Copies of this chain bind each other. A is one copy, B any other.
Amino acid sequence: MDIKTAAQTAKAASIQLAATETTVKNKGLQAIADALWEKKQAILEANEEDLTLSRENNLAPPLLKRLKFDETKLGQVISGIESLVDLLDPVGINLSARELDEGLDLYQVSCPIGVIGVIFESRPDALVQISTLCLKSGNGVLLKGGSEAAHTNRALAAVIVAASESAGVPAGWLQLLETREDVNEMLKMDQSIDLLIPRGSNVFVKHIMDNSNIPVLGHADGICHVYVDTDADLTMARNIVVDSKCQYVAVCNAAETLLVHEAVAPRFLPLVKESLAAHSVELRGCPRTAALIEVNSAAEEDWLTEYLDNILSIKIVSSTDEAIEHINTYGSGHTDAIITANPSTADRFMDLLDSGNVFWNCSTRFSDGFRYGLGAEVGISTSKIHARGPVGLDGLVIYKWKLKGSGHTVADYADGTRTFTHRPLEK
């Protein structure tokens, strides 16, 4: 099947899927969970094949680790699907209800977006998570995974398609793409694809954003900051800086820049330097920082860099407003934290910061769908519209307006025969 046909097939299925009952979608999810376990052998063998090829191609060890899909990973995705069954169906919820006039009732009802195009990195578990989130939310999906995982992805997609369709989910709702050319074709299909979710390097995400008319949900950079205010508890600040930087350096919600108020910098910087040294973190500081502790010197581009590594840039600021200004200028709108005992300083920081996740006295690493209690997430968005921060099921739905009348015409209101009541209705 060519990509255009695949996209149109998914679109046609998505129309039916939008009207599919919750019970059928849940039956489909349970059937997928069961079939993944039944077909375990075939899936693990496919993954072995990918691993062997990737080792031959000298894939880097961290990538090999992401690619690996063993019985433990399988168990995790299956239990993820089972939790998804238990979640409330996000489709068909009345968001608002209003009587416009007697017998003329308006309902704003949640519905799926349509067809989601997802391009993801080499982790095969992402395929299962994303496709089942799309199914629960009633969306068709086009999936393109990393080429290293081609055999695993093919095995997983085959199981998901067969199991869900046998449970009554509309045929064609999931389409697997296999080549990079497929992705380039996909970017042009704004007639069939309603939303793109690219997951991967920031160069890749920027490429997608620059080359498609289809709306994109996701984030390119995660340049996260911790700001230690003059009123900070310095022990708390130290723990939070270490957690934000070091708990897992390779992820988008890890901190890349530390901002310190000048009033506490002389006391705080030696403290935090000691703790970060224990984690082998390289420090790059502004000139004022360099006057207080031994650091490499930070260049302008350091403030714009997502290291994803054991490196932290440090800047001393003269006020909370200077910290806010720095973050709004150099940050990526992802996640930024303030450490302070002063509630009004914290409020000012959280209100004036143009970021999706603004934290007070806690680690930037909490910015995550699971930790937020959203269930699984499709990604973290730094968009300013639709969905922001960790995006779960709610980000995969929109709404339609349903207006139910009994012969009403606008002419009657234009000539004053009738007037609108605009009375709230029970939802």
> Taking beta carbons and an 8 Å cutoff, which residues of A are in contact with B?
15-16, 18-19, 98, 100, 104, 106, 113-114, 194-195, 209-210, 213, 215, 217, 233, 236, 239-240, 242-243, 247-248, 328, 346, 348, 350-352, 354-363, 365-367, 371-373, 383-386, 388-390, 398-411, 413-414, 420, 422
* A409 shortest CB reach to chain B, Å: 4
Contact B194 A384 (CB under 8 A): yes
Distance between Cα atoms of A216 and B414 in the complex (Å): 31
Given A360-B403, A361-B406: 18 more A-B contacts, CB < 8 Å: A18-B354, A100-B366, A114-B384, A215-B385, A236-B406, A243-B409, A356-B400, A356-B401, A358-B403, A360-B404, A363-B408, A365-B409, A366-B408, A371-B410, A385-B385, A385-B386, A389-B400, A389-B401
Distance between Cα atoms of A355 and B215 in the complex (Å): 17
Distance between Cα atoms of A402 and B365 in the complex (Å): 14
If A213-B210, A361-B404, A372-B100 touch, whether A399 touches B388 (CB-CB below 8 Å) is yes
Contact B19 A348 (CB under 8 A): yes
Contact A354 B385 (CB under 8 A): no
Contact A18 B351 (CB under 8 A): yes
The 6 closest A-B pairs by CB, nearest first: A362-B405, A243-B409, A373-B422, A365-B410, A19-B351, A386-B386
Contact of A410 among B98, B247, B350, B388 (CB under 8 A): B247
Contact B213 A413 (CB under 8 A): no
Distance between Cα atoms of A229 and B363 in the complex (Å): 59
Contact B215 A401 (CB under 8 A): no
Contact B328 A385 (CB under 8 A): no
Contact B215 A209 (CB under 8 A): no
User: CB-nearest residue of chain B relative to A243?
Assistant: B409
User: CB-nearest residue of chain B relative to A404?
Assistant: B360
Contact B104 A362 (CB under 8 A): yes
Contact B373 A195 (CB under 8 A): no
If A215-B385, A348-B19 touch, whether A360 touches B247 (CB-CB below 8 Å) is no
Q: Which residues of B contact A422 (CB under 8 A)?
A: 373
Q: Which residues of B contact A361 (CB under 8 A)?
A: 404-408
* A180 shortest CB reach to chain B, Å: 22
Distance between Cα atoms of A405 and B403 in the complex (Å): 44
Q: Which residues of B contact A215 (CB under 8 A)?
A: 215, 383-385
Distance between Cα atoms of A247 and B408 in the complex (Å): 13
Contact A409 B354 (CB under 8 A): no
Which of A367, A399, A410, A411 counts the most B-chain CB atoms under 10 A from its CB?
A: A410
Contact A400 B414 (CB under 8 A): no
Q: Which residues of B contact A386 (CB under 8 A)?
A: 385-386, 398
